[in-house]
Amino acid sequence: MIDIQYDKKRVFVETYGCQMNVYDTELVRSILLKAGYSFVAKEQEADIALLNTCAIREHAHQKVYNRIHEIRRCHQGKSVVIGVLGCMATNLRTDLLENRRLNIDFIAGPDSYKRLPELIAQCVNDEKQWTGDKRRKAYDVRLSEFETYADVYPERPGGVNAWLAVMRGCNNFCTFCVVPYTRGRERSRAPENVVAEVRRLGQEGFKQVTLLGQNVNSYYYQGHDFADLIEEVSRVETIERIRFTSPHPKDFPEKLLNVIARHPKICKHIHLPVQSGSNRILERMGRTYTREDFLELVAKIQRIIPGVALSTDVIVGFCAETDADFEDTLSLMREVEFDSAFTFKYSQRKGTIASRQYKDDVFEAIKTERIVSLNALQKEISLKKNRAYISHCHEILIENKGNKHSPDILYGRTDDNKLVTLASGNHGLGEFVKVRIVDVSANVLKGVAI
Ligand code: 5AD
Ligand code: SF4
């Protein structure tokens, strides 16, 4: 790592998007701390402001553009170096670099974080010599087939859960999705490297580890698949709970389901993104399974892991989705009865297969109508499922404290990922508490310690 001789080293960082970005920000913190930077919590105090961004849906980037203007404004003429990191950096590189109103100093894609000290130094040195239009932009948005950051130990904020990326990238090219272009091809970390990190996390007091990957269950390293990896991780004694996200339905062999069923530490919750219940739309999305395949997989999962909770992702209003296609999605939701669902209106992303081959032809008003009725249905299902928990006892792991408006509340999760509130009493973070569920809504259960 190069040594940079200057005094502007206070960094403010803000994270958008998925858990992988939260984890990547921890990598960025680690890399910059090692290079002599410090972090500040307020943007006004920073010399360098970093926005770790997401490109998956359109409104995500508008939010970032607004924030860039806000940060410049709050510095009122004082200089601040602004860098855009993450998926937007790769997806919107030209706009970001050439947009004069935004006036960004540098961009770095998800595989370039080790070069951050260099990129920042380039901007700061340039700033000393040039102002305004003469300043060059620094950038590195190259994607790597190998970078896994296996040699960087993330600077985590502490707490109960630790994120840990075991693979990065995606090879699936679902037609709606920008991820393969912003994050590149799949690559996995060596199992012994992952296990060593999990061991260290246990020693540092983390109770839970969540294994991450764009297609976490497509993990593959020299003959070791995801089932092998998660089994090895579950042998680390000091870690008490293991979760993983986000998997693809195509990679659930029985071997993996048996490992999940067999190991009490591996939580009985699977996020299984379906995207649509219509075969015509699934085909256009390039999801590689049919509605029937998906339902068969759900039945297999429920048979091998009794009591498993399932959640999903659904997109409404994909190109050429008709009322009948949407009805198929609703009927699949009724049939599976997911515990919860993340629902999205289709938003066309630059560079994707869908943006080149199909028209984004479902009216916004129809997308809104569909997402409203999908959410209403899911709320009904979630509430029905949660009601079945009333009067039953569950063990929860306390993961968070209430905010200043509700300081006496703790938040925990059951093994099957239900969020439970609990009066704090004598309990604290990282503790397992047996509770009886006394009330529920569609999103959260209320527990009383027993
Ligand atoms: N428009 C809307 N939703 C999308 N997702 C991914 N790409 C898009 C898009 N272009 C959703 C999918 C995915 C989740 C992370 O985001 O449902 O599973
Ligand atoms: Fe995107 Fe599909 Fe890859 Fe998931 S599997 S990141 S939805 S292309």
Q: Are residues 110 and 224 in the same domain?
A: no
Task: List the alpha helices (DSSP H) in 270-345.
Answer: 279-285, 291-304, 323-336
Q: Which ligand is nearest to the CA of 181?
A: 2
Which one of 179, 344, 345, 348 would you pick to mutate in the ligand 1 pocket, going by the greatest count of ligand atoms within 8 A of its CB? 344
pLDDT > 80? residue 129: no
Separation of CA 286 and ligand 1 centre (Å): 13
Tokens of 331: 């009927």
Separation of CA 411 and ligand 1 centre (Å): 28
What percent of the chain is helix, strand and coil (3-state, nearest 5)? 40, 25, 40
Instruction: Establish if 272 belongs to a structural domain.
Output: no
Tell me if residue 119 falls in helix, strand or coil: helix
Q: In the prediction, which pLDDT does 240 show?
A: 98
Q: In the prediction, which pLDDT does 50 show?
A: 98
Tokens of 427: 């309990």
Report pTM: 0.95
For residue range 155-182, list pLDDT tens digits in order. Answer: 999 999 999 999 999 999 999 999 999 9
Q: Are 56 and 17 contacting, i.e. CB atoms less than 8 angstroms apart?
A: yes
Instruction: Establish if 283 belongs to a structural domain.
Output: no
* CATH number of the domain that residue 402 is part of: 2.40.50.140
Closest atom of ligand 2 relative to the 275 alpha carbon: 7
How much of the chain exceeds pLDDT 90, in percent?
Answer: 86
* CATH number of the domain that residue 253 is part of: 3.30.750.210
Closest residue CA from atom 6 of ligand 1: 177
Q: In the prediction, which pLDDT does 5 show?
A: 46
Separation of CA 25 and ligand 2 centre (Å): 21
**Dist CA 443 CA 437 (whole Å):** 14
The pocket around ligand 1, CB under 6 angstroms, is made up of: 56-57, 176-177, 273, 275, 313, 315, 344, 346-347, 349
Confidence of residue 392 (pLDDT cuts 50, 70, 90): very high
Separation of CA 427 and ligand 2 centre (Å): 40
Separation of CA 344 and ligand 1 centre (Å): 7
Q: How many domains does the chain have?
A: 4
Q: Are residues 82 and 203 in the same domain?
A: no
Which one of 58, 91, 170, 176 would you pick to mutate in the ligand 1 pocket, going by the greatest count of ligand atoms within 8 A of its CB? 176
Q: Are strands 445-449 and 432-440 parallel, antiparallel or unpaired?
A: antiparallel
Q: Are residues 379 and 364 in the same domain?
A: yes
Name the residue with tokens 């939701």: 333
pLDDT > 80? residue 3: no
For residue range 363-380, list pLDDT tens digits in order. Answer: 999 999 999 999 999 999
Q: Are residues 19 and 84 in the same domain?
A: yes
Exposed, middle or buried by CB within 10 Å (0-12, 13-18, 19+), for 209?
A: buried
Q: Are residues 182 and 212 in the same domain?
A: yes
pLDDT > 60? residue 1: no
Closest atom of ligand 1 relative to the 347 alpha carbon: 1
For residue range 187-245, list pLDDT tens digits in order. Answer: 999 999 999 999 999 999 999 999 999 999 999 999 999 999 999 999 999 999 999 99
* CATH number of the domain that residue 308 is part of: 3.30.750.200
Confidence of residue 133 (pLDDT cuts 50, 70, 90): low
Q: Which ligand is nearest to the CA of 273?
A: 1
Separation of CA 40 and ligand 2 centre (Å): 34
Cα 30 to the center of its chain, rounded Å: 19
Closest atom of ligand 2 relative to the 286 alpha carbon: 2
- Mean pLDDT, the chain, rounded, equals 94
For residue range 305-353, list pLDDT tens digits in order. Answer: 999 999 999 999 999 999 999 999 999 999 999 999 999 999 999 999 9
Rg of the chain over Cα atoms, rounded to whole angstroms, equals 23
Largest CA distance in the chain: 69
The pocket around ligand 2, CB under 6 angstroms, is made up of: 170, 172-174, 177, 179-180, 214-215, 248
Q: In the prediction, which pLDDT does 57 show?
A: 86
Closest atom of ligand 1 relative to the 18 alpha carbon: 15
* CATH number of the domain that residue 87 is part of: 3.40.50.12160
How much of the chain exceeds pLDDT 70, in percent?
Answer: 96
Question: Which residue segment(s) compose the domain that 180 sits in?
Answer: 158-267
Amino acid 76 reads: Q
Q: Pick from 334, 353, 386: which residue ends a domain?
A: 386
Q: Pick from 228, 246, 267: which residue ends a domain?
A: 267
Question: Which residues touch 426 (CB under 8 Å, ≥6 apart)?
Answer: none
Q: In the prediction, which pLDDT does 406 show?
A: 87
Q: In the prediction, which pLDDT does 78 show?
A: 77
Task: For helices 323-336 and 291-304, give the axis angle rounded to 10 degrees.
Answer: 10
**Dist CA 427 CA 413 (whole Å):** 14
For residue range 66-88, list pLDDT tens digits in order. Answer: 999 999 999 877 789 999 999 99
How many residues in total does the chain contain? 450
Separation of CA 318 and ligand 1 centre (Å): 10
**Dist CA 438 CA 427 (whole Å):** 18
Q: Are residues 70 and 125 in the same domain?
A: yes
